[in-house]
Amino acid sequence: MLTRLPFIAALALGLLGATAESQSPQASQSGIVGQWEGDTFAAGNNAGITLNLYPNGTYSKRVVTVMHFGWTLDGNTLLIAPVTAISGDDVTFGKAVGMNVTLMGDSLVASAEGQSLLLRRVTWPVANQPLVGRWEGQSDLNEPITQDFMDTGRLILTIARSREAGRYTIKGESINWQEQIPNPERRRSRFKLEKGKMLLYISPKLPPIELNRVDPNTAKY
């Protein structure tokens, strides 16, 4: 939970909306406008990707890592252990790590090895189970963090690995990306649409990322 992770600045889609070119006919006629979700690989972990392709030719992309732990609370000591394998109902955990936690109403401070993390509760508290529920915060490098403490003793940690936004155009089976946030650059990706799925080829040396359409009308300004 306290691992230092790479940080990319948050999106400023309002700026994109203000500076975007007029609606791209290629984008509006391509059949790919909408929200797409799938799985990829980032920084050594499985990650989820959400890609929004907007009808005015702008896009946003967010990659998050979801990690699973077991947790127990003994006084002010929180022990968490990573889930290393799941086979049916059998769960295997790795080595547990302890940290000190301080609860102050809807705030929680976790500290270990000279680092600390402040979280805010975003769900109703559960009687006699002070940690159970959803907590949100930012790491020391400003990565958005969501922690879901389950009453089953499982902890689900979600953290943003990267965020990106810019403009796009379609030419044949290629998407031309003009990234604006966080780093201005241009690149091209091949894609295919098959049975409601998008196969996105990020690199010729890697298999495509398979994205499922969430709803063609969910990509909004």
Q: What is the per-residue pLDDT across 42-57, written as a single tens digit (0 to 9) for each?
A: 555 678 899 999 999 9
- The mean per-residue pLDDT over the stretch 67-93 comes to 88
Tell me the chain's radius of gyration from C-alpha atoms.
20
Contacts of 14 (CB under 8 A, 6+ apart): none
pLDDT, position 69:
93
pLDDT-above-90 percentage for the chain:
44
Average pLDDT in the chain:
80
pLDDT, position 90:
83
| pLDDT of 111 higher than 70 | yes
Strands (E) across the chain are located at 34-42, 45-53, 58-74, 77-87, 90-93, 97-104, 107-112, 115-121, 133-138, 144-149, 154-171, 174-181, 185-194, 197-201, 209-215
Contacts of 159 (CB under 8 A, 6+ apart): 5, 64, 65, 67, 139, 143, 144, 145, 146
pLDDT, position 30:
56
pLDDT, position 135:
94
DSSP reduced 3-state for 27: helix
pLDDT, position 101:
93
How many whole angstroms separate alpha carbon 190 and alpha carbon 201? 5
Would you state the structure tokens that stand for residue 107, as one six-digit string? 């705030």
Residue 217 confidence class, pLDDT cut points 50, 70, 90: low
Among the listed ranges 14-28, 159-173, 175-189, which one has the minimum average pLDDT value? 14-28
| pLDDT of 64 higher than 70 | yes
| pLDDT of 25 higher than 50 | no
More confident residue, 200 or 144: 200
| pLDDT of 179 higher than 90 | yes
Among the listed ranges 40-49, 117-126, 201-210, which one has the minimum average pLDDT value? 40-49
Task: Identify which of 3-17, 38-52, 83-97 has the greatest average pLDDT.
Answer: 83-97
pLDDT, position 2:
36
How many whole angstroms separate alpha carbon 34 and alpha carbon 77? 45
